[in-house]
């Protein structure tokens, strides 16, 4: 077993908390730094399904992308979903940590993994979050494809490589795709950034109707591959990063990725 503190130290090296947005809530959210951990479950969300899985598989800790506690809490109501989950986690001694926007920004995190899945090369910054001592940190990534593709072919590539049931495409006529902007999760607020940087297409999730319309009006394709679809690829990578960071520690630790979590949306055809 290892202490929760050692695992949090490893997570800090992978996705430093200083990279997180001010409004975010990463870090250790349930449990104690002193408690002992032998089995870690890596997931996107701490929902009912993941909580039940953690209990069933004997996990001592969950490391998630989305924070289990996000907004301020004034009461812990066990007759409501969040309070019920927190009570179950505490009853079974399961610690919970989150690496959210800090994992989005981190090198090797959500957006680098997403870009790699889509075959992008020559990655550069997209939405700059900080610039200190010559180091630029960025939400999302810009990259180029090895060769231009028709937008419909690229959309099919996104669907296949992310393993999602569908993508939504808002296309501009007759513009081949070479320069690609990506932002895992909900990135519609950065459409204008992608246009300004000359992206042929922007891949993100949770795109609203008028956001897609605005992208097309400015001459850029947009592909909505879903919040889950654009972020889930990071989970096995994060698990492997944790294993590597903890390999030299004295103590047994097992790190595994959820096998029950799925997109909250189903597609009915």
Confidence band for 189, pLDDT divided at 50, 70 and 90: very high
User: 107-225: same fold as 2-103+232-257?
Assistant: yes
Which 8-state DSSP code applies to residue 41? Answer: E
Alpha-carbon distance of 254 to 127, in angstroms, equals: 35
Rg (CA), the chain: 19
CATH hierarchy code of domain 2-103+232-257:
3.40.1390.30
Q: What is the pLDDT of residues 119-134, one digit of tens each?
A: 999 999 999 999 988 8
What pLDDT was estimated at residue 133?
A: 84
Report, as an integer, the average pLDDT of 84-103.
Answer: 98
Domain residue spans of the chain: 2-103+232-257, 107-225
Q: What is the pLDDT of residues 226-251, one digit of tens each?
A: 999 999 999 999 999 999 999 999 89
- In terms of phi and psi (left: phi > 0; alpha: psi -120 to 50; beta: otherwise), the region of 30 is beta
What pLDDT was estimated at residue 164?
A: 97
Q: What is the chain's mean pLDDT, rounded? A: 97
Q: What is the pTM of this model?
A: 0.96
What pLDDT was estimated at residue 173?
A: 87
Question: What Cα–Cα distance (Å) separates residue 159 from each residue in 169, 178, 199, 246?
Answer: 11, 17, 19, 34
CATH architecture type of domain 107-225 = 3-Layer(aba) Sandwich (3.40)
Question: What Cα–Cα distance (Å) separates residue 66 from each residue in 99, 179, 192, 269?
Answer: 7, 29, 25, 29
Alpha-carbon distance of 231 to 119, in angstroms, equals: 16
Element (H, E) at 205: strand 201-205
């Amino acid at each position: 077993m290892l202490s929760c503190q050692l695992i949090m130290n490893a997570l800090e090296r992978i996705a430093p908390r200083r990279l997180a947005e001010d409004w975010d809530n990463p870090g250790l959210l349930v449990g104690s730094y002193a408690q002992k951990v032998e089995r870690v479950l890596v997931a996107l969300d701490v929902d009912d399904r993941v909580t039940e899985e953690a209990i069933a598989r004997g996990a001592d800790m969950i490391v998630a992308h989305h924070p289990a506690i996000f907004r301020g809490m004034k009461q812990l109501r066990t007759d409501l979903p969040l309070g019920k989950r927190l009570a179950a986690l505490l009853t079974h001694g399961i610690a919970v940590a989150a690496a959210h926007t800090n994992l989005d920004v981190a090198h090797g995190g959500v957006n680098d993994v997403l870009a790699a899945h889509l075959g992008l090369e020559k990655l550069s910054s997209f939405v700059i979050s900080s610039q200190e001592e010559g180091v630029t940190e960025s939400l999302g990534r810009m990259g180029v494809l090895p060769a231009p593709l028709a937008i419909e072919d690229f959309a099919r590539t996104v669907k296949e490589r992310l393993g999602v049931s569908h993508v939504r495409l808002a296309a501009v006529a007759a513009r081949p795709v070479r320069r690609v902007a990506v932002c895992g999760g909900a990135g519609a607020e950065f459409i204008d950034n992608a246009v300004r940087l000359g992206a042929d297409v922007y891949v993100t999730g949770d795109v609203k109707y008028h956001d897609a319309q605005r992208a097309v009006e400015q001459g850029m394709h947009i592909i909505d591959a879903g919040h889950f679809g654009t972020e889930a690829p990071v989970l096995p990578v994060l698990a492997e990063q944790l294993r590597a960071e903890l390999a030299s520690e004295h103590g047994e630790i097992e790190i595994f990725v959820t096998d029950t979590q799925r997109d909250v949306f189903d597609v009915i055809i």
